[in-house]
Amino acid sequence: MPDSRAHVDPIDRVERIDLIQGDITRLDVDAIVNAANESLLGDGGVDGAIHRGAGPQLLAVCRTLGGCPTGEARITAGFRLPARHVIHTVGPVYRGTERDAELLCSSYRSSLALAAEQARTLNVCQKAEKSGTDRGKTNVYRTNADHRLMAFGLFSGFGDHVSLYLLGTTPDEAYIDEARQFYSWAGAFCSRLPPRYRGLATTLEKLADGFGVYHEVLGHMAAHHMDLMERLSPGQTWHLEHEATKRRCRRSRRT
């Protein structure tokens, strides 16, 4: 029986709306919505204030998103803002036409839908925030992105039951986008660390930009070059496991 929740409009899920008068850059909330332009590179007004409050890391991440068409939305970390996330949406230059109304409505719906889709990342983001340091945030986002990359690339060919065990769901496009976003955030926080971390920051940015390519490369490796266990005899397998166990024991004694 189909799940009727899959067809619920995101606006219909809103149970309560509060009106708050104040400075949006000082709100300590899960996400704020930015009235952005299509470039996502900042402008005047609220858009400029949010970019100034978030710091240069927000602009660096927005440059990787490739803009945003009118009526759609994108999400980033809040960086130096009290808000954990910023949802950037582009509304039309409203002149009262039917098309303007459609695009304006679409920008609201896109923002709410994106917030709903990103709700499952909340635990990861909370862990990153609780770490309290740029290094801690880098490690949290990087670890979760690495986990998804390995799961998508190396284990997706072994059946959905493996993906369900590793991820809690099958590796759909939304989870791939989530992993790409985690790498992007990890790279942004890593760029704020001392100069010796510049190489890692560059690598994380490349992983964010080329996640789909690396995912396919790992999938190819898993399918064609990782059948070593099938070619080893039981005796050879036992020997490798025995040596690995001894090395782990030696490392444990040293620590």
Cα gap 24→38, rounded to integer Å? 21
Tens digit of pLDDT for each residue in 120-147? 555 566 666 666 788 888 888 888 777 7
| CATH for the 4-122 domain, from 3.40.220.10, 3.90.1150.10, 3.40.228.10, 3.40.50.150 | 3.40.220.10
Average pLDDT over residues 225-240: 59
Contacts of 79 (CB under 8 A, 6+ apart): 54, 55, 57, 58, 188
Q: Where are the domains of the chain?
A: 4-122, 132-224
Query: Angle formed by the axes of helices 56-63 and 173-190, to 10°?
Result: 140
Q: Which residue has the higher pLDDT, 134 or 49?
A: 49
How would residue 172 be classed by pLDDT, with cut points 50, 70 and 90?
low
Q: Average of pLDDT values for 154-167?
A: 41
Q: Clarify whether 30 is annotated catalytic.
A: no
> What's the order of all strands across the beta sheet hosting 73-77?
31-35, 85-89, 73-77
The active-site residue out of 3, 12, 43, 47 is 47
Give the pLDDT score at 216.
72
Of 127-131, 159-163, 167-171, 207-211, give the range with the top mean pLDDT. 207-211
